[in-house]
Amino acid sequence: MVSRRSVLRAVPLAAAALAAAPAPPHRSGRSSTSTDPVRVPPDATTMQAAATAVRGFTADLYRTLASTRAGGNMVCAPYSVGLALAMTRAGAGSTTADEMDAVLHAPNPRPDALDSGLNAVDQALAGRYRDGDGTRQPRLTTANALWTRLDLGLRPGFRDTLAGYYGAAPHPVDFRGAPEATRQEINAWVSHRTNAKIPELLRSGVVSPDTSLMLTNTTYLMAAWTYPFIATATAAEPFTRDDGVVVDVPMMRGPFDTMGYLEGDGWRAVDIPYAGGGLAMAVVMPTRDDLATVEANLDETWLAALSTGFRPTTVQLRLPRWSFRLPAELGAVLGSLGMPTAFTPRADFTGMSTDPALYIDNVVHETFIAVDEKGTEAAAASAVIIRPPSIPQGPQFFVNRPFLYVIHDRFTGVPLFLGRVHDPLVTGPA
């Protein structure tokens, strides 16, 4: 359970696709309202290092989470979690900052290299997908906000970093006097930007009179396949799980067309493009061992090679239709990855506020994905909670066994969502 005594709530993040919803506010150098912060112009020279950092953190987080859920479906959005932690890192110091930099694979030696690089990645994605219609071109928009206790004193450097690099404007709210109304306000903000796929990120009791600060981020994705599957051809077919159990699942057929294909040591993959050609879903199947072996070897180099290694091939594709939702608490996982100090009273977050002795209580994450004949809908939300010490010729790709999937941007090489399908019929944790 999330502590009711949280003082600083941070960073819900979310992503969603393919359903009609009001467009979220833009997050770019171009302000959508007069109160939006002015973004620092993107420094293209920092983008590649940031993309590498995102891949490194993505691999570490997914690999660790996957090992804790052997034999079950998996989905997460490390890109969102990474942004949440990066914003939190902007207020960290000493050992806390060093450990967070290591976990986030932060570039060196510039202190602001990670902030600058993520700003460049974010604005590159916004420039490419912000104005998409979700059908001919994906729509991808992001927004950040800083929710603060009415009397909280923010460090100017922290406030300026969040405004300039992350576009997060401060919103003073009455955490002390009206915690429930504030919880509902923030949940509504998140729900609106995730097309209601994450309607209650902050559960009852999570926001308390002790809450001091919360950072929120949302990412909205709407994307159709370049080659829609043939809806009338979808039929029940057998799918063999890792435990040997065979289940009948709705199997989509087609498209029989050219797409990326790649073979590696013990696996092969197909890259299914979304309309516009920039985003794609890489589907990876083992050829020798079970999927856990492939996942155990997943690292930054593997993700980079996956993003760039596909070669056009005519593929006969069959893919299950599935949807899945997974909430997770990431505090213990992140601590084990190398940032334990942030979760103890020894944490140094004095760069955030004049309030002393803040530390991370937990990191809460929830992800949803739905894949059908038209495209993909995905949503993720995260909270970093800080408290005081208190048929053509070509390969057939019949996805009838557990598989890994990676939704990624082909231009930057940034993975956005990762997951595993053990049983397409399972829609949530047991």
Q: What is the pLDDT of residues 184-222, one digit of tens each?
A: 998 898 888 888 888 888 888 878 788 778 777 777 778
Does 210 map to a domain?
yes
Burial grade of 256 (CB within 10 A; 0-12, 13-18, 19 or more): middle
pLDDT band at 134 (very low <50, low <70, confident <90, very high): confident
Q: What is the pLDDT of residues 26-70, one digit of tens each?
A: 333 333 343 679 999 999 999 999 999 999 999 999 999 999 887
* CATH number for the domain harbouring residue 76: 3.30.497.10
Model pLDDT, residue 28:
35
Please check whether residues 294 and 345 belong to one and the same domain.
Answer: no
Does 429 map to a domain?
no
Does 1 map to a domain?
no
Tokens 């916004």, located at residue: 126
Please check whether residues 338 and 375 belong to one and the same domain.
Answer: yes
The predicted model scores a pTM of 0.86
Please check whether residues 248 and 272 belong to one and the same domain.
Answer: yes
Does 108 map to a domain?
yes
* CATH number for the domain harbouring residue 303: 2.30.39.10
Please check whether residues 219 and 314 belong to one and the same domain.
Answer: no
Q: For 34-38, 95-99, 177-181, 322-326, which range has the lowest pLDDT when averaged over its residues?
A: 34-38
Q: What is the pLDDT of residues 323-343, one digit of tens each?
A: 998 888 889 999 999 999 999
Please check whether residues 101 and 26 belong to one and the same domain.
Answer: yes
Does 359 map to a domain?
yes
Please check whether residues 327 and 314 belong to one and the same domain.
Answer: no
Please check whether residues 355 and 263 belong to one and the same domain.
Answer: no
Please check whether residues 64 and 173 belong to one and the same domain.
Answer: yes
Q: What is the pLDDT of residues 259-281, one digit of tens each?
A: 899 999 999 999 999 999 999 99
Does 426 map to a domain?
no
Please check whether residues 202 and 327 belong to one and the same domain.
Answer: yes
Does 2 map to a domain?
no
Tell me the residue range of the domain where 279 lies. Answer: 231-319+392-421
Please check whether residues 100 and 207 belong to one and the same domain.
Answer: yes
pLDDT band at 390 (very low <50, low <70, confident <90, very high): low
pLDDT band at 25 (very low <50, low <70, confident <90, very high): very low
How many domains is the chain built from? Answer: 2
Please check whether residues 263 and 355 belong to one and the same domain.
Answer: no
Please check whether residues 35 and 98 belong to one and the same domain.
Answer: yes
Does 3 map to a domain?
no
